[in-house]
Structure 1
């Protein structure tokens, strides 16, 4: 008699790769930067808050940083054009300006779409052009939300931006795919970042949402980061144009 042991390796390496992460100062973006660096990538972190970039550099000394407001199209474009070739892009930056439908203001519509949608197009255009010119392909992951596919009270504009982001991503996948550039979305539920813990710690607010999640809990940051890295990696080489829920089954109900 004999026994056979099969070991399935899921180690992911980004050695020799350069990655750009937007919204890198806090939460999902910050942890994505740290995980990419630990997997061998040379990482460029973008944030509009210099203090966040300074503290992140202490944790990741090899980090390159860009401090710019993504809502500024021209300044962003100029900054991205100076960072050099990028193999992996994570469009994570977003704003959530919550208002009831009858109280929505034009300023918040503009700010939300400028950051959550226009900046993704802007940054991705610059990065994708370099990928195309280099003829080496690449991977882009856009951080969307379950709010792209489910109506949430007081989230009219936010839901609208994330729904737009999902479709922008699919068209990007269609048009950039022939250049071997893959584009995918991750669509998390509430995530337990430091800000998420503050916003969703009260039982009265959390319980109605938790009741809609079959797994009965919110997502941890590392669960979103792990999905991002998988989609960026060669392990996901045939995944393109997907929207991946990280929601414990919320969207399945």
Structure 2
């Protein structure tokens, strides 16, 4: 289950491309709406928490609105959606796997990213706590921590060669991640090939975190 905050647009998922996929559109910042929207979804055995917002402000200019929205979407929604899915798994006695999409920003300070970095740092610890408490129910929980990913948004935000060079100079492999790099890591953590892996944070960062 994966969604952007505003909505997962059904127009991006055609029946030909993804037969059998059912889309649910919901504002994950709205607790009651999310609860209602997901109440009839399932059963779910594999969950990917991929929704996030990045509202960048210098520390001295961080607003309450940016703080609340960021934590509501990047952290609180993960708790809520994961609770709903995990309760369903436990009720069915079914094993499962959850992957939280975190960021290299959880472990490195980046200018103007005070709130975003904080949400991702909290998400890494939440991942460990979920792994600890859900493990006895045979539910594994891990995180992936990508660098800049070349989505359409990533290409737009990092199209400035000077801005991109500052980040690329800190990545030993000298390149940003492609979408499939992150997808492959997520698929591994969802699969039985990682059935002894839980509570981990897996960098997909070209070595950024070793510098």
Give TM-score, length-normalised by structure 1. Answer: 0.81
2:181 to 206, 223, 227: 223
Q: Provide, for residues 139-193 of structure 1, a one-character-per-residue CA deviation record: whole Å limited to 9, x for no partner.
A: 0000000000000000000000000000011000000000000000000000000
Counterpart in the other structure of 2:83:
125
Counterpart in the other structure of 1:187:
145
Counterpart in the other structure of 1:90:
48
The alpha-carbon deviation at position 22 of structure 1 amounts to 2.7
2:36 is aligned with 1:55: no
* Total equivalences in the alignment: 210
1:79 to 13, 24, 37: 37
The alpha-carbon deviation at position 21 of structure 1 amounts to 2.0
Counterpart in the other structure of 1:35:
none
Distance 1:148 1:210 in 2: 18
2:159 to 201, 205, 208: 201
Counterpart in the other structure of 1:21:
2
Counterpart in the other structure of 1:28:
none
Counterpart in the other structure of 1:38:
none
The alpha-carbon deviation at position 55 of structure 1 amounts to 2.8
Compare CA radii of gyration and give the structure with the larger one: 1
What are structure 2's unaligned runs of at least 5 residues?
Answer: none
CA RMSD of aligned residues (A): 1.1
Distance 2:110 2:38 in 1: 34
What are structure 1's unaligned runs of at least 5 residues?
Answer: 1-19, 24-46
1:140 to 92, 95, 98: 98
2:126 is aligned with 1:168: yes
The list of structure 1 runs, each at least 4 consecutive aligned residues, that deviate by more than 4 angstroms after superposition, is none
Structure having the higher strand fraction is: 1
Counterpart in the other structure of 2:110:
152
Give TM-score, length-normalised by structure 2. Answer: 0.97
Counterpart in the other structure of 1:111:
69
The alpha-carbon deviation at position 213 of structure 1 amounts to 0.3
Q: Provide, for residues 187-207 of structure 1, a one-character-per-residue CA deviation record: whole Å limited to 9, x for no partner.
A: 000000011011111111000
Q: Provide, for residues 217-242 of structure 1, a one-character-per-residue CA deviation record: whole Å limited to 9, x for no partner.
A: 00000000000011000011000000
